[in-house]
Amino acid sequence: MADDVTTSVAASPATSHPQPATAGRASAARPAVPARGGRRAASSRVRKRLEIAFFVTPALAIFALFVIWPILTAVQLSVYRWKGFGPLVDFVGLRNYVSVLTNEVFTDSLVHNLVIVVMSIVVQLPLGLAIALLLNRKMWGQGLLRTIIFVPYVLAEVIAGVVWFQLLQPQYGVLDTIMAAVGLQGPAQGWLGDPDVALWTVIVVLTWKYLGLAVILFLAGLQGVAEELYEAAQLDGASWWQVQRRITIPLLGPTLRTWAFLSMIGSLQLFDMVWILTGGGPANATTTMATFLINEGTRRQNFGIAGAASVILFVVALVMALAYQHFILRRDTRPDDGGRRAARPRKEATR
Amino acid sequence: MTAVVTAPPSTPPAPGAEPRRRRGGAYSGGNPLVYCIALVVAALTLGPVVYGVLGGFRTNAQLAQAPAGLPDPWVLTNYTGVLTNPSFWQYTWNSVAIAVITTAVVVVFGVMAAYPLARYEFKGREGLFMVFVVGLLFPAAVAIVPLFILITQNLQLGNTWLGVALPQAAFALPMTVVILRPFLMALPKELEEAAMLDGASRIGFFWRILVPLSGPGMVTVGVLAFVGSWNAYLLPLLLLQSDMKTLPLGVADFSSEHSADTAGVFAFTTLAMIPALVFFLAMQKRIVNGLQGAVKG
């Protein structure tokens, strides 16, 4: 996403200098370019305004109604004690926030989310990159293989979750059976029943579900690396590994960074898979912020608590996104060593 | 000239790959190790899915006796049971209807909004765009409780197709706008100038030239919206009950209500996923293009 902003900003000549993290907004002050065919009378400007309004209003209306308004309402609910009926009268200030942040279930959820964010990237990045590099060659059945790799990603999380739930059952689950056949034994309460193991099991299933996306995106990024670079490197006597390390991976930089961003946001919002696999259990060992707030909001009718949890979830996502964007922008505007070089060719191309 | 390039003699082949001819791709393969890895990856990826499909052809007794075995004999009763289950068809129909409405709203509103953001110069344009970009950060979960209240109480759209489709479309709009804007920006300026010289208004340009030309972009965002809606769980979970449920809800319910009937669960799950899987894999290029668009801008 961050790349989007930079690209579109960089593409317009008026604002090609490096932008701070809040870039997009700044260019609102861009000098108005005279309309094609010369500046006309004021009526033409009014007409233009009306046209813009005509095009943007429907999207903005449903966005405001179904996204912005509910979020603002969540903020409002977060300072009341409210059980879902009657007027909002029981103003409690920040007490909901205090009670959420001192609730061990929630802080554990936050930690689970962060573990999932980190593990998703740490596991899927090298694994996805390795598979993508290996598959980025003419080989028999390549198209079929790419399709196969894409399968878990297009499955609904719920459906993947239901299938895995069966595979992971203790005793009659297929995983335990296979392990027993080679003399190993899974946890006694099952992979999803043991509080020490459950979160890691969920992470394994998530890896299965989303590794394919990483591979496909990386492969698509690899297609963008110009053939001539490989040829030149080969003529210079570079080995396969050198070519990957010095050319391919750096040029893949923007793809990798934005994939990691998408992965991070997805991990922070995780709900479906956990809800199906464990429902947050056992003993709250796999709760996420999303399962916490759904639980509070819809099962216990603690709308104020759920509101506060929503706001905290959003703030966490926003802070991490801004930090990440800042990180990306720094890399994209100051290309000097190592992986930073990655940004340069792309930047030049957009100018 | 490049057609005769062969492996540079001085290059020691790296383990796992030899640099040789690489027309059309990168280094070409043919290396047994690569095929082995590819096979392992394919097996791990497809294993659970295939197991589910095969499990549907077995009886619960077979499953209990040899969880890792093959169907013996193959039984069709699980699948016929699901196919003759009216709820299954009702859920499918609901999923289709909601996905179609979501997709239509997303594509029409999305391309309309992306047009001025891409091709008009006006104050606040980037600010407006940022509204949508920031929207990408809002998980539906953040707004879910007020959304539930809004839809069920204020709008009286609880347990209806529209009540799910409209918010889904709203949450899919940011991604759509973010993908479509650079797409529309990339169309050459000359087109617009030529249309203006021919006396077309900007709205005329939009309908007659831009919409037809942006077909591929709209298909891409449409497919993404369709996939998102088809697979959605959280919003339908809160908003839909009884015979308004969608397939993911149906699968989740079936699996918890018939937890003893593992074979039946596998059959239900398989039938719920196969048609969508075929469609989505056929649309794979579009999905990847869309995601790439989001990645690259």
Tell me the CATH number at A108. 1.10.3720.10
Chain B positions touching A151 (Cβ under 8 A) are: 45-46, 49, 277, 281
Of A36, A55, A238, the CB nearest to B115: A55
Amino acid at B73: P
Q: Answer yes or no: is A203 within a domain.
A: yes
Q: Answer yes or no: is A256 within a domain.
A: yes
CB–CB contact A56 B26 (8 Å): no
A232 touches chain B (CB under 8 A): no
Q: How far apart are CA A284 and CA A345, in angstroms?
A: 47
- Rounded to 5 degrees, φ, ψ at B175 are -60, -40
pLDDT band at B96 (very low <50, low <70, confident <90, very high): very high
Burial A168-196 (b: 16+ CB within 10 A, else e): bbbeebbbbbeeeeeeeebbeebbbbbee
- Rounded to 5 degrees, φ, ψ at A279 are 65, 15
- The enclosing H or E element of A215 equals helix A198-223
Q: How many Cβ pairs within 8 Å bridge chains A and B?
A: 377
Token duo for residue A20: 């701070």
> For the packed helices B284-296 and B215-231, what is the interaxial angle rounded to 10 degrees?
100
Q: Which domain holds residue B104?
A: 89-249+279-296
CB–CB contact B34 A134 (8 Å): yes
Q: Looking at residues B55-65, what average pLDDT do you find? A: 83
Chain B: residue nearest A61 by CA? B170
Chain A positions touching B41 (Cβ under 8 A) are: 131, 145, 149
At A91, is the secondary structure helix, strand, or coil?
Answer: strand
Q: Is residue A132 within 8 Å of residue A219, measured between CB atoms? A: yes
pLDDT of residue B109: 94
pLDDT of residue B224: 85
pLDDT of residue B73: 84
pLDDT of residue A194: 86
Q: Which domain holds residue A133?
A: 103-159+188-350
* Domain CATH number, residue B194: 1.10.3720.10
Q: How far apart are CA B128 and CA B139, in angstroms?
A: 20
Q: Answer yes or no: is B271 within a domain.
A: no
What percentage of residues in chain B have a pLDDT greater than 90? 17
Token duo for residue A175: 């995983």
Contacts made by residues B215-218, CB under 8 angstroms, sequence distance 24+:
B217/B111, B217/B179, B217/B180, B217/B183, B217/B184, B217/B293, B218/B107, B218/B110, B218/B111, B218/B180
Chain B positions touching A239 (Cβ under 8 A) are: 11-14, 19
Spatial CA neighbour of B135 closest among A68, A8, A290, A308: A68
pLDDT of residue A330: 62
| Domain count of the fold of chain A | 1
pLDDT digits (tens, 9 = 90+) for B146-197: 888 888 888 888 888 999 999 999 999 988 888 888 888 888 888 778 887 8
* Residue B202 in this model has a pLDDT that exceeds 80: no
CB–CB contact A139 B38 (8 Å): yes
Q: Give the lowest-confidence range in A65-79, A219-233, B83-97, B237-251.
A: A219-233
Token duo for residue B98: 């909601």
B104 touches chain A (CB under 8 A): no
DSSP readout, B85-146? -HHHHHHHHHHHHHHHHHHHHHHHHHHHHHHHHHH---TTHHHHHHHHHHHTT--HHHHHHH
pLDDT digits (tens, 9 = 90+) for A29-48: 444 444 444 555 677 788 88
Q: Answer yes or no: is B154 within a domain.
A: yes
Q: Answer yes or no: is A169 within a domain.
A: no
At A83, is the secondary structure helix, strand, or coil?
Answer: coil
pLDDT band at B294 (very low <50, low <70, confident <90, very high): low
Mean pLDDT for each 10-residue chunk of chain A (351 residues)? 38 39 40 48 79 89 90 87 78 86 91 94 92 80 83 90 88 79 79 88 93 87 78 80 81 83 88 90 89 86 87 89 75 46 38 32
Q: Is residue A280 within 8 Å of residue A297, measured between CB atoms? A: no
Nearest CA distance, B89 vs chain A (angstrom): 17
| Domain count of the fold of chain B | 1
* Residue B13 in this model has a pLDDT that exceeds 70: no
**Which of B51, B112, B115, B126 would best serve as a mutation to test chain A binding (most A beta carbons within 10 A)?**
B126
CB–CB contact A313 B139 (8 Å): yes
pLDDT of residue B2: 35
Neighbours of B22 (CB within 10 A): 21
**Which of A240, A241, A291 would best serve as a mutation to test chain B binding (most B beta carbons within 10 A)?**
A240
Of A7, A137, A220, the CB nearest to B182: A7
pLDDT band at B22 (very low <50, low <70, confident <90, very high): very low
B83 touches chain A (CB under 8 A): no
B290 touches chain A (CB under 8 A): no
- The enclosing H or E element of B159 equals none
Q: Answer yes or no: is B45 within a domain.
A: no
Spatial CA neighbour of B141 closest among A48, A24, A267: A267
Q: Answer yes or no: is B142 within a domain.
A: yes
B105 touches chain A (CB under 8 A): yes
